[in-house]
Homo-oligomer: A and B are copies of this chain.
Amino acid sequence: MDETPKPPLTRIQRENRARIREAALEAFTRHDLCGGLRGVTLDKIALVAGLTKPNILYYYASKDAIYSDLLENLLEEWLLPLKEISPDGEPLAEIQNYVRRKLRLSIEKPRESKLFATEILHGAPLTAATLSGYLKDLVDEKAALIERWIKQGQLAPIDPYHLIFSIWAMTQHYADFDVQVRAILGAEKTKRLPDEASVFFDTLCARLLTPSK
């Protein structure tokens, strides 16, 4: 395989390779330098859409405008399950139901999940305002509800914000990291995934949130 006699790296080689690695890492997460939604070209979109490029630009002012639109429409649907957590239901069942709905959304619409993940991952250039406005308000509201349930002894005490983050993280993981999940589970276990994950999450919620007494 390795045919080169592998000349040992000189001092300068080592230093600069390290420097480059560091710079690549830095540049990679510096939003002021990096784009974000690059990688998908207008030509590709046009090809898939079966339209010509100028035709696409006839409908959208720019490429970014397409993604803005996409993300806007996305967020609404994405937050529906959280919105539907009701103060009137049985607390544990409400949360288990939320998790189930969120998981189903992730498994059924992995593309949307990935788009959103990429947007956030790259610093949310198009949705930052919505996150700290609309989304924050919604989460604050639901966190307060969970807090109330805890105070009334209907749920075991837990930080509601981190609970919500965990639910987001765990459910979206199956969409965003599906390549990894599939690689590790193998073909058969992947087929049983939706059911097994559901059971896992039900168990997790029950053990985590059932009041001890």
Q: Which residues of B contact A122 (CB under 8 A)?
A: 39
Residues of B within 8 A of A180 (CB): 120, 124, 131, 135
Minimum CB–CB distance for A183 against chain B, Å? 4
Query: Chain A interface (Cβ within 8 Å of chain B)?
Result: 13, 16-17, 19-30, 33-36, 38-40, 44-51, 55-56, 59-60, 66-67, 69-70, 73, 110-112, 114-115, 117-118, 120-124, 128, 131-132, 135-136, 139-140, 156, 158-159, 161-163, 165-166, 168-170, 172-174, 176-177, 179-181, 183-186, 189, 196-197, 199-200, 203-204, 207-208
- Jot down 6 A-B pairs with beta carbons below 8 A, ordered by A: A17-B59, A28-B115, A39-B122, A140-B184, A161-B184, A169-B177
Q: Chain copies in the assembly?
A: 2
Given contacts A21-B69, A44-B34, A162-B197, whether A120 and B169 have CB atoms under 8 Å apart is no
Across-interface contacts of A162 in B (CB, < 8 A): 196-197, 200
